[in-house]
A and B are shown apart, each in its own frame.
Chain A
Amino acid sequence: MRHIISLLMENEAGALSRVAGLFSARGYNIESLTVAPTEDQTMSRMTIVTSGSDDVIEQINKQLNKLVEVVAVMDMNEGDHLERELMLVKVRAVGEAREEMKRMADIFRGRIIDVTDRSYTMELTGSGSKLDSFLQAIDTSMILETVRTGACGIGRGDRILKL
């Protein structure tokens, strides 16, 4: 099953390698991994999207907790949570497609953030599956380039990951 694991870790050189190395060394999947400093500059927050059996996910959580630089770990899937990912998509926009692409962007609540006479660059946010749906909904031959940040997640309501 797909899990979103969030963790707080020391904002130190090498901390990212420890986490990434753990996943490769123990053969765990990484679907996406995203990391940036938090409002507390000494800490970074990382979101890892992974998949595996319940036993594997349990081990992943334990192994992450064992890393000395990891301050706190939360498996988002253990409770209500929100997931968002940002995608930038550059599409062909000539002739009829110009209008069509604009409509699609509206339907998916995307925004066009760069325009040329031949292309649009759109910004979309949502869950990973929403972004997948957008890409499936448009003609793949129209896609010039995509870039995705990978998912980040946050607990709903009182579910807070903080030191």
Chain B
Amino acid sequence: MELTGAEIAIRCLQEEGVEYVFGYPGGAVLFIYDALFNQDKVKHILVRHEQAAVHAADGYARSTDKVGVALVTSGPGATNAVTGIATAYMDSIPLVIISGQVPTSFIGEDAFQEVDTVGITRPCVKHNFLVKDVRDVASTIKKAFYLAKSGRPGPVLVDIPKDVSNQKTEFNYPTAVSVRSYHPAQHGEEGQIKQAAQLLLDAKRPMIYAGGGVVLSEASKQLIELVRLLGFPITNTLMGLGGYPATDKQFIGMLGMHGTYEANLAMHNCDVLLAVGARFDDRVIGNVAHFGQVPRKIIHIDIDPSSIAKRVRVDVPIVGDVAHVLGDLLAVLHSSKQQPDAQALVAWWKQIDEWRGKNCLLYRNSDEVIKPQFVLQKLYEITGGDAFITSDVGQHQMWTAQYYKFDQPRRWINSGGLGTMGFGLPAAMGVKLAHPDATVACVTGEGSIQMNIQELSTCKQFRLPIKVIALNNRYLGMVRQWQEFFHGNRYSESYMDALPDFVKLAEAYGHVGIRVTKPSDVEGALREAFARKNDLVFMDFQTDPTENVFPMVPGGKGLSEVILAEDL
């Protein structure tokens, strides 16, 4: 039977087992929305802004290991989606974005709601397609899902002109897909893996540094086994949190600009570094030249060859899927007669424990004013460390990363690479839909939340009882912190005057709002909010406006040049 391009697109989503499509209709996607209307397998979540559609699909993908799907119209629909697409691209999140396009005969004529979507998104997608022939719709969508999910994952966009979505052809969903120019690596090279094992066994001051690749590759099990087998210290990047259990004694905290003192010093001073699915970015190792001052052997496992030797020289590169490579590495270690150097390890752990003794995350609590760190500690306690936590971007994001101890992967959902304010709430919608019975909280600030606050309306429509934890310090806190440290206390445009009454705002959207002004009320408010299983509760915590995030490695400095709270 012949189907229209629009019907084919929806059938493809059904074939891929897509549960939810996050989107917003418009002229160029009317046929696709019509096809959506005539079926009930794929559920559509109507957001209030296309950026949120992509973030919601992203949150869904991050929390499930499935591909997130968004559907937007041409022109402004597509441009609004770009921030979401770039966010997913930077963090390697598998998404398929279907965008409508003006009819093929109008392309290039500056038609109403026409933009060169494929051109605009080209630098921030793994790949994109403009489908000019209805006979290519099915095979293109099949390819899109394959590309998004395989290798180093990423967003793939499929742009479908309106006439293509209305033309008819036979529908056959391809069972297999192959792209002759695309062969992502799976297994690492055996010789390299053996070399890596030898380096690890000979190490005196070893360190394991694991990033988002561990989460994406579902490699936590192998990582935990490896770390326990070797007895080495391990740190996670912001994207890797949860990839290794944070409450484990071998975990020495997150590293990087706001990482722990012990993680950063161990990273700096180690003699053998095993990097797993991480990319040595500027927020992680700070100044590259400074990092290079200490001679160390680096083993780097990554599925993307271009991530290896991009910022630092690597001694043993291993290109492959992290889970596979770690499995093979474990096999080599298990079969080796040699044990890690126990004596050296004792000395190394003694040194690390000394650094740990600084207790770098200690903060001075107060009876007068709510300290943001205190709220997060309480959040951790009350949710038993078992919630899905999304965040926006800024101080609250760093405090959450520091104080919420994630023991499982895919529980910490944040925009690490692009640093997109406005990510948290829509991402939480995707998470909540994927895990309807789980506790989902969005930690945000009064700045970030206003970037996509309209989604409170979506949450009402689809009954998504997310807990919004707004740390409201009346400042764009991270901007204020940098202005305090590096711009002579000139708080240029970082103070937000005329903030809305968030309690009334939440109520206006049909939700519950709670304002908390006293430290003694923090715990009670959180308990009340989480007890309301069926309500979205917006908690407006009026926090200390002067609090800063410590430790801090200032931009351009080395990991050992860290500023601690006690230094000031």
Contacts and interface: CB of A to CB of B under 8 A. Distances in A.
Contact of B182 (A13, A68, A163): A68
Interface stretch (A54-62, A126-134, A150-158): A54-62
A98 to B, nearest CB: 48
Interface residues of A, number: 21
Given A14-B130, A62-B306, A68-B147, A21 B122 contact: yes
B293 interface: no
A81 B562 CA distance: 50
A25 interface: yes
A59 B181 contact: no
A9 interface: yes
Interface in B105-142: 118-119, 122-123, 126-127, 130
A59 B147 contact: no
A123 interface: no
B181 A70 contact: yes
Interface string B167-194: 0000000000001111000000000000
A159 B515 CA distance: 71
B304 interface: yes
Nearest to A69: B181
Contacts of B309: 55, 58-59
Contacts of A55: 309
A53 to B, nearest CB: 12
Interface centre among B123, B127, B306 (most CB of A within 10 A): B306
Interface string A1-29: 00000000110011001100100010000
A52 to B, nearest CB: 13
Interface residues of B, number: 17
Contacts, number: 39
B310 interface: yes
B305 interface: yes
A163 B180 contact: yes
Interface string A92-108: 00000000000000000
Contact of B118 (A10, A14, A25, A58): A14
B304 A21 contact: no
B304 A18 contact: no
Nearest to B310: A59
A119 interface: no
Nearest to B127: A68
A59 B81 CA distance: 29
Nearest to A15: B181
Contact of B126 (A14, A68, A71): A68
B181 A10 contact: yes
A128 B309 CA distance: 31
Contacts of B305: 62, 65-66
B130 A68 contact: no
Interface of A: 9-10, 13-14, 17-18, 21, 25, 55, 58-59, 62-63, 65-66, 68-72, 163
Interface of B: 118-119, 122-123, 126-127, 130, 147, 179-182, 304-306, 309-310
Kindly list the 10 A-B residue pairs having the minimum CB-CB distance in the complex, ordered from nearest: A62-B306, A71-B181, A68-B127, A62-B305, A25-B123, A63-B306, A68-B182, A66-B306, A21-B122, A21-B123
22 contacts: A10-B181, A13-B130, A14-B122, A17-B119, A18-B122, A21-B122, A21-B123, A25-B123, A55-B309, A59-B306, A59-B309, A66-B304, A66-B305, A68-B126, A68-B127, A68-B181, A68-B182, A69-B127, A70-B181, A71-B180, A72-B181, A163-B180
